[in-house]
Amino acid sequence: MHAIVCIKQVPDTTDVKVNPETGTLIREGVPSIVNPFDTYAIEEALRLREKFGGKVTVISMGPPQAKEALKEAIAMGADEAILLSDRAFAGSDTWATAYTLANAIRKIGDFDIILCGKQAIDGDTGQVGPGIARQLDIEQLTYVFKIQEIDFQAKRIRVERLLEEGREVVETRLPALLTVVKDINQPRYPTIMGIRRATRTEIPVWTAADLPDAKPELLGLKGSPTQVVRVFNPPPRSGQIVMIEGESPQEQAAKLADLLLKEKVI
């Protein structure tokens, strides 16, 4: 079994600030972490390896400091890690990010399953996982809450997806790309041995030259069809508070229901 996990290093905050002139995220002065959803993807890959044997490779596209995120994955137990880092990748939108990661995965080759987080807490689009699956022309299973069954010999997988309306059970063939939600597991903490191994591990860095099949015009800002037209903070919502009085909870509930009907909320 070979699982590839895509992880992103993100600012350690959900209060992301955007430079209004350039439209890019302000990362200076904000400590970085592994995107929290990606730690669940790492954990799930490690559990698959514990059950079926094989290896877990972790990849990330980002600046040189993203090595720290990869080392954290090694400390958790991942076998190998690769950083994709090159000025040519800078300015990538979600399409170019997925294109670059897919090319790297194609080069790694011989994988059974790819795991991603459901979304990154900075970009928040949730597009990169499905984008990679599309680029590689493999099945995609998003918002996975549980792997019910997986058979690497028969190349089949059945998962439960967590949707707003409930849960959905889907079965498909492998290789497949899964994006996972945080209810799927409880990520482990790195062990002392793992941290020692991570400290010793040299993370290979792949540049654009290491991806000869990736077309240079499709990388980085050049290869990004998204254009940020304007970045702004929406004005704070205004509203008013209405206290519903009543002799009993029943009376208060009835008044509330009348009010909601009147406002056409229900």
Give yes or no for residue 37 binding ligand FAD (CB under 6 A): yes
Q: Alpha carbon 74 to chain centroid distance?
A: 18
Q: In this chain, which stretch among 114-122, 187-195, 239-247, 258-266 interacts with ligand FAD, using CB under 6 A?
A: 114-122
- Report the site for ligand FAD in 92-111 (rule: CB under 6 A): 92-94, 97, 101
Distance, in Å, from the CA atom of 185 to the CA atom of 241, rounded to the nearest integer, reads 39
Q: Which residues of 130-162 are buried (b: 16+ CB within 10 A; e: fewer)?
A: bbbbbbbebebbbbbbbbeebebeeeebebbbb
For residues 203 to 242, the per-residue mask of contacts with ligand FAD, x marking binding by CB under 6 A and - elsewhere, is ---------------------x-x-x--------------
Q: Which residue reads 């899964």 in tokens?
A: 178
C-beta closer to ligand FAD: residue 82 or 157: 82
Beta bridge partners of 151: 156
| Closest to ligand FAD by CB, 57 or 60 | 60
- Residue 46 · residue 1 · CB < 8 Å: no
| Closest chain position to ligand FAD (CB) | 123
Which residues are at the interface with ligand FAD (CB under 6 A)? Answer: 6-8, 24, 35, 37-38, 41, 60-62, 90-94, 97, 101, 116-117, 119-120, 122-129, 224, 226, 228
